[in-house]
A = this chain, B = another copy of it.
């Protein structure tokens, strides 16, 4: 923690303004770093990638990564490539999840899904390209090239949490549970892999690049896991209670396809309680050193929409 000078950060009275500003920074970085070379032979592939990547989004994972960095006074510039990499991974997962063979969804981030707009083959390839590009970005990151041991760790975290110790496994569990009876423990396991893993990666990479001590790194992991589960429970609740217009994706889809969700397993009221419980666990994990209160504030923000 004491490794780097704490940069002066104005007290964030207005969290919303802060989040909007950070998301705009991520949008600028994405627009600059995920851009075709001048004479690309595959302009339509890049178009499909950018169509999905730059569609309006909260940029929750990269913003969280920056918030961790800010908590330890790390220069934001260090995170430029890694923050874009995690958003590329997140976007690839949305594109592939929406495919007809998977969730068969047509609306995403308020726009037609990638395969609706560009065709199924191009959507598969745009997803593959974004996933691969995430690692290309890590390989091009000046900070990670100056600190290659951290670079390898960031790569490993991203690969584990996006893949076989995380997201892809979660996607399989999610599909396998469709239409079957599920209890809370089962849903929690799915959430942990499907959603919490990549949110945890955002926190872990934030910590690695800030070069925090091992015990802080562990706390960040615990924070990310709990926050990620809270995040997915809220997402499931909103699927039931909000309109497609508000969500930017098809509402009521979970009920229709009998997804494994907390509302289905334990009802809406207990689902709300569970979300709050996981939010409190997240806060407890970092309470000793979240001096700016930023990580607490983010956790509160996640559950605000179901208050």
Contact = CB atoms under 8 A, between A and B. Distances in A.
Contact of A160 (B40, B136, B164): B136
Given A102-B121, A132-B162, A136-B160, 12 more contacts: A45-B172, A96-B128, A121-B175, A125-B168, A127-B128, A133-B164, A135-B135, A135-B155, A140-B156, A148-B149, A151-B152, A155-B155
Interface residues of A, number: 52
Copies in the complex: 2
Contacts of A175: 121, 125
A42 B172 contact: yes
Nearest to A101: B120
A82 interface: no
B101 A169 contact: no
Contacts of A162: 132
Interface of A: 40-42, 44-46, 92, 96, 99, 101-102, 119-122, 124-125, 127-129, 131-133, 135-136, 138-140, 144-145, 148-149, 151-153, 155-156, 158-160, 162-164, 168-169, 171-173, 175-176, 189, 193
B136 A172 contact: no
Contacts of A155: 135, 138-139, 151-152, 155
A3 B45 CA distance: 42
A158 B124 CA distance: 19
A34 to B, nearest CB: 10
Contacts of A45: 164, 168-169, 172
18 contacts: A41-B193, A42-B164, A96-B125, A96-B128, A128-B128, A132-B159, A132-B163, A135-B155, A135-B158, A135-B159, A135-B163, A138-B152, A138-B155, A138-B159, A139-B159, A144-B152, A148-B152, A152-B155
Contact of A164 (B132, B148, B168): B132
